[in-house]
């Protein structure tokens, strides 16, 4: 059974985020298998095949259950695993915040990849992620982690606790851009042929 930890949101607490002893070893994560991302990868034949051959775990994240109060901060870790669907790297679904005017910070603990962000007006920004790098995601931008490396991409995130998650917009419309492995083996950003 997962260890149940209580956090004192009123008087504070410390948490060990070392990768061996930290949050990712405690509590229950929210897991996303490939089959939960139907329609998000461009190569639907490769998608169907990978789901049929075992439906791999693509990513998971750990949250602490912070009360959804505007004065609190939600934080935790996100782990995106290494892999591809066709030539497209494993990624998170990505989301806007329900309160669109909410920024977020990600800090890379391990692995390498990208943070793909876009706002409703179509401005797209691709930021690199590697250990030591902090990314500031401005308010109004959807954000998706992409693992272009060979090891799990592990990030720490923090945002206003009542911001909420809007996954539906991305599930319906998709992102304007995708990040794939080019013929030279290097990551490149292309137009999403399915963008609605
Ligand atoms: Ni977010």
Q: How far is the CA of 111 from the centre of ligand 1 (A)?
A: 19
Find all residues with CB under 8 Å of 130, minimum gap 6, and list them.
108, 111, 112, 113
Q: How far is the CA of 104 from the centre of ligand 1 (A)?
A: 6
Question: Do the beta carbons of residue 4 and residue 42 sit within 8 Å?
Answer: no
In the chain the domains, ranked by start, together with CATH numbers, are 23-191 (2.60.120.10)
The distance of Cα 144 from the centroid of its chain, to the nearest Å, equals 5
Q: How far is the CA of 159 from the centre of ligand 1 (A)?
A: 7
pTM, whole model, 2 decimals? 0.92
The distance of Cα 106 from the centroid of its chain, to the nearest Å, equals 10
Question: What is d(CA 113, CA 128) in angstroms, rounded to the nearest whole number?
Answer: 6
pLDDT of res. 17: 72
- Closest by CA to 74, choosing from 63, 87, 89, is 63
pLDDT of res. 26: 58
Q: How far is the CA of 143 from the centre of ligand 1 (A)?
A: 6
pLDDT of res. 23: 53
pLDDT of res. 29: 84
Q: How far is the CA of 183 from the centre of ligand 1 (A)?
A: 32
pLDDT tens for the chain, residues 1 to 196:
344 567 899 999 888 776 645 555 556 789 999 999 999 999 999 999 999 999 999 999 988 888 999 999 999 999 999 999 999 999 999 999 999 999 999 999 999 999 999 999 999 999 999 999 999 999 999 999 999 999 999 999 999 999 999 999 898 889 999 999 999 999 999 999 888 7
pLDDT of res. 91: 98
pLDDT of res. 14: 85
Q: How far is the CA of 96 from the centre of ligand 1 (A)?
A: 7
pLDDT of res. 19: 61
Q: How far is the CA of 94 from the centre of ligand 1 (A)?
A: 8
Q: How far is the CA of 9 from the centre of ligand 1 (A)?
A: 20
pLDDT of res. 18: 66
């Amino acid at each position: 059974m997962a260890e149940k930890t209580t956090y004192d949101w009123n008087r504070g607490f410390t948490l060990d985020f070392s990768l061996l002893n930290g949050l990712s070893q405690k509590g229950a994560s929210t897991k996303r298998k490939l089959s939960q991302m139907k329609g998000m990868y461009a190569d639907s034949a490769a998608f169907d095949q990978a789901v049929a051959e075992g439906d791999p775990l693509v990513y998971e994240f750990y949250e602490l259950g912070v009360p959804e109060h505007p004065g609190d901060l939600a934080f935790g870790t996100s782990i995106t695993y290494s892999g591809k669907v066709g030539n497209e790297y494993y990624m998170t679904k990505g989301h806007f915040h329900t309160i669109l005017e909410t920024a977020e910070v990600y800090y890379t603990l391990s692995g390498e990849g990208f943070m793909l962000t876009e706002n409703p007006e179509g401005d797209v920004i691709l930021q690199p992620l590697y250990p030591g790098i902090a990314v500031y995601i401005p308010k109004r931008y959807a954000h998706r982690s992409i693992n272009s490396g060979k090891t799990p991409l592990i990030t720490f995130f923090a945002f206003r606790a009542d911001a909420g998650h809007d996954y539906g917009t991305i599930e319906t419309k998709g992102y304007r851009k995708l990040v794939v492995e080019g013929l030279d083996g290097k990551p490149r950003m292309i137009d999403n042929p399915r963008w609605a």
